[in-house]
Amino acid sequence: MKRALITGISGQDGSYLAELLVAKGYRVFGTVRREGLHPNLRHVQDKIALTTIDLLNAEDVKAYVESVAPDEIYHLAAKTFVPSSFDAPEDVIAFSVRSVGNLLEAVTSLTPPNPPVGPGGKIKLFYASSSEVFGSASESPQAETTPFSPRSPYGEGKALATKLVREAREVHGAFACSGILFNHESPRRGANFVTRKITRGAAAILRGEQETLELGDLDARRDWGYAAEYAEAMWRMLQADAPDDFVIATGETHSVREFCELAFGELGLDYAKFVRVNPAFVRAPEAVQLVGDASKAKRVLNWQAQTPFPDLVKMMVRADSESLRDSSLRSE
């Protein structure tokens, strides 16, 4: 039985990955920020082992990795909300860099020529990087060869950590991969992200619990995929013959306005009657469109995005509608 360690296991990506690995027969371990029940893990929480750990403490990280003896590590834990990264830039960058550095140190020190930890010998590591590393990109679409040009503390931290992973692979021979993940959504997406603000807002407006929804630039475009499929891509990277970095994306963009049209339309509503633009939420426009070229992932990993954009939006708004209905029934 293979053993996998997932940092940030209770988040959107971690929960989908945990379900995937459990289904494949892995013994799964995960780190969480706090003890207790985790809604995203309700399907598998009794089948995985959870712990709280300070990923910035090198000794604790090494001791935990050694005790788990994983074949694979998936490092997903991060401070993930880009706008808030400007409030504490040093903390965001430090977490990205130091947590990756500590895990890489554990991986390289606990694998050959030292006694192997996992049954397979060398521990394989996946790092969840982000399309934010491209920021003010010099080309579009962006591929693995596109130069990094981050324009937020979140992007800066991800870029530095991705370079550390590459260095560990090329200089120290570690089996370490980075997935440069473009936006990926699901009903488990955090409520502070624009996609969940839209789907939950539409559902609340239909129920009369909310009158309007404030958003930023409705014409902003994103490359949006389905998170469960991106978890599959993470697993595939660590099953490849050789470690490498991969862009994971759909290769197409849609606007926030399109997202609103589909979400409200699914509930029989006209978004234009309810959505208001709040200038405080508007980010500076990108000089070059961020859209991923995942042709390398298709060629090497046999992976490509499958869920059409309209289906993703409908899935999310239906889940939020059901959640609000259930909450209302419980409160009666």
Question: DSSP letter at 12?
Answer: H
As a whole number of angstroms, the distance between CA 229 and CA 294 comes to: 13
As a whole number of angstroms, the distance between CA 48 and CA 20 comes to: 12
- Reduced to 3 states (helix: H, G, I; strand: E, B; else coil), residue 53 is coil
Q: Is 127 a catalytic residue?
A: no
Q: How many CA atoms lie within 13 A of 84 on its CB side?
A: 8
> Torsions phi, psi of 35, nearest 5?
-80, 165
Alpha carbon separation from 270 to 8, 175, 202, 248, 312 (Å, rounded): 37, 50, 10, 33, 19
Q: Of the residues 10, 16, 96, 132, which is catalytic?
A: 132
Q: Of the residues 96, 130, 152, 178, which is catalytic?
A: 130
Q: Is 132 a catalytic residue?
A: yes
Do the Cβ atoms of 317 and 325 come closer than 8 Å? no
As a whole number of angstroms, the distance between CA 305 and CA 226 comes to: 8
Q: Of the residues 154, 226, 230, 271, which is catalytic?
A: 154
Catalytic residue IDs: 130, 132, 154
